[in-house]
Amino acid sequence: MVRDPREALSIAGKLPLVVSESSARRNALRDPDVQLMLEVRDDSAAAFEELVLRYQDRLVALLAHLMGSRDQAEDLAQEVFLRVYRARKTYVPGAKFSTWLFTIANNVASNAMRTLARRHEVRPEVHASGPMGANPMDHMALASSSQMPIRRLAKAETREIVRLAIESLGQRQRMAVLLSKFEGMGYADIAEVMELSPQAIKSLLARARGNLREVLAPYMERGEQPNLLKESTPEIPKSPSP
């Protein structure tokens, strides 16, 4: 995680992460974050620090739920911000800054996942820590628990069930859900981030929602733990009788 944004200003290097001009350029220029990035392009340390402060928590939270490790998410978030800074001189506003930023984040996360797959590493669980904790999961957990007709489970248990349900999705479905639910992005913005068509994103989200409904149905309808949770929680052996 970038604890002192000024550290990144001493890092040299160039990275071809150019956003091409498009018909959205005029609207993008109205984005205050785009204005800050244009100041970063002119080597403003204060503007870069402001962008880091605005997006660091959101970026770490999304990457943590995508990767399954908060420590790794903080490392990847630092890599994302370094790429942003290295690309400053070639930056051209063609979309909202958040769309451009999460496009970089998606590429960084995809590369990290491919590395983990080659090493056959298992993603650890996300632990609620840091400024954001599991807040995105809290929002979905509360939404789920409010629909239960039989009983209201503890928020921690609800959050765990929702987390496991989202982790059961494939990488692309999981990323699309996180961008839609927690970043409030529409089909067009998600499509740009994931380099797919809006129609493909619409289909991807439809499949993801169907998969989530199937996993969460026992919990939402009867208050029962889904199989995902049962399988992930080992039984505690009973103490032997004296």
- Provide the percentage of residues in the chain whose pLDDT is more than 90: 44
Q: What is the pLDDT of residue 65?
A: 86
Q: What is the pLDDT of residue 94?
A: 83
Q: Predicted confidence band at 142 (pLDDT cuts at 50, 70, 90)?
A: very low
In CATH, what number is assigned to the domain containing residue 201?
Answer: 1.10.10.10
Domain count across the chain: 2
Asked if residue 204 has pLDDT above 70, the reply is: yes
211 or 149, which is more confident?
211
CA separation for the pair 96, 100 (Å, rounded): 7
Average pLDDT over residues 156-180: 85
What CA–CA distances, in Å, run from 19 to 45, 90, 107, 181? Answer: 21, 8, 14, 25
Q: What is the pLDDT of residue 20?
A: 44
Residues 118 and 146 in one domain: no
Residues 140 and 187 in one domain: yes
Residues 21 and 90 in one domain: yes
Closest CA to 24 of 102, 90, 94, 101: 94
The answer to whether residue 229 sits within a structural domain is: no
Q: Predicted confidence band at 227 (pLDDT cuts at 50, 70, 90)?
A: low
Q: What is the pLDDT of residue 163?
A: 78
The answer to whether residue 241 sits within a structural domain is: no
60 or 131, which is more confident?
60
Q: What is the pLDDT of residues 30-67, one digit of tens each?
A: 889 999 999 999 999 999 999 999 999 999 999 998 88
Asked if residue 179 has pLDDT above 50, the reply is: yes
Domain span at residue 23 reads 17-124
Q: What is the pLDDT of residue 126?
A: 41
The answer to whether residue 11 sits within a structural domain is: no
Q: Predicted confidence band at 161 (pLDDT cuts at 50, 70, 90)?
A: confident
Residues 36 and 108 in one domain: yes
In CATH, what number is assigned to the domain containing residue 51?
Answer: 1.10.1740.10
Q: What is the pLDDT of residue 160?
A: 76
Q: What is the pLDDT of residues 79-116, one digit of tens each?
A: 999 999 999 999 988 888 999 999 999 999 999 988 88
